[in-house]
Structure 1
């Protein structure tokens, strides 16, 4: 009987010893992923940024964030992080029922060792060679006295209108949008994906005149239904004309961070005369991702 009791005690001590050893040998299964980006803007309440690592060809979420103060650190499964080949950043609905990344991907880059240099060039578009022209004109009405109240992104320097914007094709999830910044307030000319075609609201714009939809290029006539605090027709000389790149669906009624082309309209600009756009304030967003 004593032998049985001693044997049971010994087995209990052994089991306890094994459990203690297992507890002491537990290895933290997560590692740190550190994000450090330059140029991101806050998205507002309805959207968040979400990081993804590509592991064996499949996306694995590294977490969402709304603050654009960096660096930021996320805890990620160590094995997946070690095997990750690429980092991608997307814009997602704040309430998101789809576990897959949205089309609106804004940064991407491959890992080289413990770091990945990421930017928007490959995942949105490369705007380094973008150029553009525009004219002041109001072709959507029959009044020739207000031609300085419209902007159209075309080139008529040869005597006939041709495409005025040299812009790359955007990836899915992005559109172009034109703006006139009047008294510090940006007012849209409309969204478009093809610089050689009319913008998306060509026939439905509330600002245009009643005679026609205008030429088959992006642009806008600011002739009626002015927003509160503004009077249309107006004078766009001295204002700033901007081409931005917008998420689709859009997170805000204001221009997004990426603005590859812009120009302050000369105060002595002539109507119906081609004016060059200059490089915009932000044509690329970039950063570094580090795995520890």
Structure 2
């Protein structure tokens, strides 16, 4: 009888300790997603970056951020983290709620497929591939009739055949993006206008505050700096020695300054000839990249 009682006590003790051990086990419900991106710049006021996991074809937010110091780590539901097939980075208006907060904006900037526990992300597939981009432009002021200020305008066209032709070889952008031309005056970028089609006038051709009064220009992107002033420079001016840039901008735009992606740029020679074709070179940033690990 005593042996039986000892055995019963022993079994009860084993059950007790096993039960306690099971109670101490913690079910893992969250995991870490580490994002390490290169080339991002701070956004303008009112906008944030937001990461997304694509899980069974649906987006799951990993959180928003404004700092461009990396790496950064985000806590995500473990099931979504393990099941994700892709990571996407978008630009979003700050403070979104409801459906807008649960859906990525069209301004998707980086994307990449997971291979195991990591993904290499790039702007090439989600924005455009600028590896073969090229550009030509001339100095001219076609929106006035004064031939003495021709170096105060820049137009992205090629007139080498005797007739104006397309001057920019740029890929079609995905939804949420547009091109913008710039001239850097006294270190300050001044826009020539936004556009999506290099073979057509830019969006402000008829409303530019700088153009002359003799029309809207030749039907290609560009700008005459003839009226008013910008960056401390009174117009007209001489653009020789300034830098011309083509950037890729989110739409809606987060800032009046150029965005990080700048596929084409060129320093206008001080001895450039008016109405003669000048060739742009590769810009300071043609692709954004990074990595994501889970």
TM-score band by shorter chain is over 0.9
Decide whether the 8 Å contact of 2:54 with 2:86 is kept in 1: yes
Distance 1:281 1:200 in 2: 25
TM superposition shift of 1:183: 1.3
1:168 is matched with which residue: 162, 171, 176?
Answer: 171
SS of equivalent residue, structure 2 residue 229: coil
TM superposition shift of 1:147: 0.2
Distance 1:100 1:92 in 2: 10
Q: How many residues align?
A: 279
Decide whether the 8 Å contact of 2:181 with 2:244 is kept in 1: yes
Counterpart residue number, 1:6: none
CA offset digits 1:7-59 (Å, max 9, x no partner): xxxxxx9xx98985554122221111000000000113310100000000000
1:208 is matched with which residue: 211, 223, 234?
Answer: 211
Counterpart residue number, 2:157: 154
Distance 1:38 1:227 in 2: 32
2:249 is matched with which residue: 246, 250, 260?
Answer: 246
Counterpart residue number, 1:274: 277
SS of equivalent residue, structure 2 residue 201: coil
Q: Map of 1:87-106 to 2, 5 A cutoff?
A: 87-97=87-97, 98=100, 99-106=102-109
TM superposition shift of 1:227: 2.6
SS of equivalent residue, structure 1 residue 138: coil
Distance 1:130 1:147 in 2: 27
Counterpart residue number, 1:40: 40
Q: Map of 1:116-265 to 2, 5 A cutoff?
A: 116-227=119-230, 229-265=232-268
SS of equivalent residue, structure 1 residue 89: strand
Aligned-residue RMSD, C-alpha: 1.7
Decide whether the 8 Å contact of 2:242 with 2:268 is kept in 1: yes
CA offset digits 1:80-133 (Å, max 9, x no partner): 111100000000011213120000000000000111000000000000000010
SS of equivalent residue, structure 2 residue 236: coil
Counterpart residue number, 1:28: 28
Please give the TM-score of this superposition, normalised by the length of structure 1: 0.92
TM superposition shift of 1:228: 6.0
SS of equivalent residue, structure 2 residue 233: coil
CA offset digits 1:210-239 (Å, max 9, x no partner): 111001100000000213621100101000
**Unaligned residue ranges in structure 2 (runs of 5+):** 1-12
Runs of 4 or more consecutive aligned structure 1 residues displaced over 3 Å after TM superposition: 16-23
CA offset digits 1:188-213 (Å, max 9, x no partner): 00000000000000000000001110
- In structure 2, relative to structure 1, the CA distance for the partners of 1:168 and 1:149 (3 Å cut) is same
Please give the TM-score of this superposition, normalised by the length of structure 2: 0.92
Counterpart residue number, 2:4: none
- In structure 2, relative to structure 1, the CA distance for the partners of 1:210 and 1:164 (3 Å cut) is same
**Unaligned residue ranges in structure 1 (runs of 5+):** 1-12
Distance 2:81 2:28 in 1: 13
Distance 2:116 2:48 in 1: 28
Counterpart residue number, 1:59: 59
